[in-house]
Amino acid sequence: MVKMIDYKTDFNGTDIPWVESPFFYDLLETKPLSEEEYNLAKHYHEEGYVILDLNLSEKFIKETILEVDNKVRSNSFKSQESGYHYSKHPRLFEAWKWSNHVLELTKNKKVLDTLKFLYKRNPLPFQTINIVGAAQQPFIVTQFIFHLSHKGGWVYLGLH
C-alpha cells in the first residue's frame, strides 16, 4: 500500500521549497521555530526576499568596495556579454576568483544558514555577480531565472 504524503506537515513532501509551497502556512505552524525564524520565513514567503544584517565591519566594507573599484578601473574583469547590458555600469562576474572579500561574503555563515533554513538544502555558492551601479535589469528576468531553479537563489549584498 502506498503511503500518502501529508503536504501540510512534510517539509519535503513537494518538489518545491517549503517556503514556496501552497501549504506554507500549515507547514509554518507544524515546526517549532524561534520568533526570528518564523518572521523570516513568513516575510520571505510573502515578499520574496529577506534582509540580513551580516554585521560586517566598516573596514571590510571599505576594502571590498576599494577592491572592486580598482578592478573596474583596471578594466580587467569578466563581464556580461554586450547584449545583456542594461545600464552603463558593468557587472563583474566571478569576482570571488580575485577578491578574498567577495569570496568571504559567498561563504558567510549567516547567509548560508539562512538559505539552508529556507530551502532545507545545503547551499552551494558557485557564482558571484558584482553590480557596481544601478543595474536596471528587467524584473521579469530575475524572477524567471530564480523560479526556474529551486536549487539556488540570488543573494544581493548591498554595501552602503
pTM above 0.85, yes or no: no
Question: How many Cα atoms are found within 13 Å in the side-chain-facing hemisphere of 132?
Answer: 22
Q: pLDDT at position 39, please? A: 96
Location of C-alpha cell 513537494: 14
Question: Is the per-residue pLDDT at 106 higher than 70?
Answer: yes
**Quick one: pLDDT at residue 149?**
39
pLDDT at position 68? 81
* Range of lowest pLDDT (31-40, 109-118, 125-134, 137-146): 137-146
Cβ atoms 15, 150 nearer than 8 A = yes
Give tens-digit pLDDT for 117-130. Answer: 988 888 877 777 76
How many CB atoms lie under 10 A from the CB of residue 150? 14
Which segments of 6-122 are extended strands (E)?
91-93
Instruction: Let me know if 108 is exposed, middle or buried by CB neighbors in 10 A (0-12, 13-18, 19+).
Output: middle
- Asked if 25 contacts 155 with a C-beta cutoff of 8 angstroms, the reply is no
Decide: helix, strand or coil at residue 93: strand
Nearest one of 62, 69, 24 to 42, comparing CA atoms: 24
Handedness of CA 10, 106, 146, 40 (dihedral sign): positive
Percent of the chain with pLDDT over 90: 18
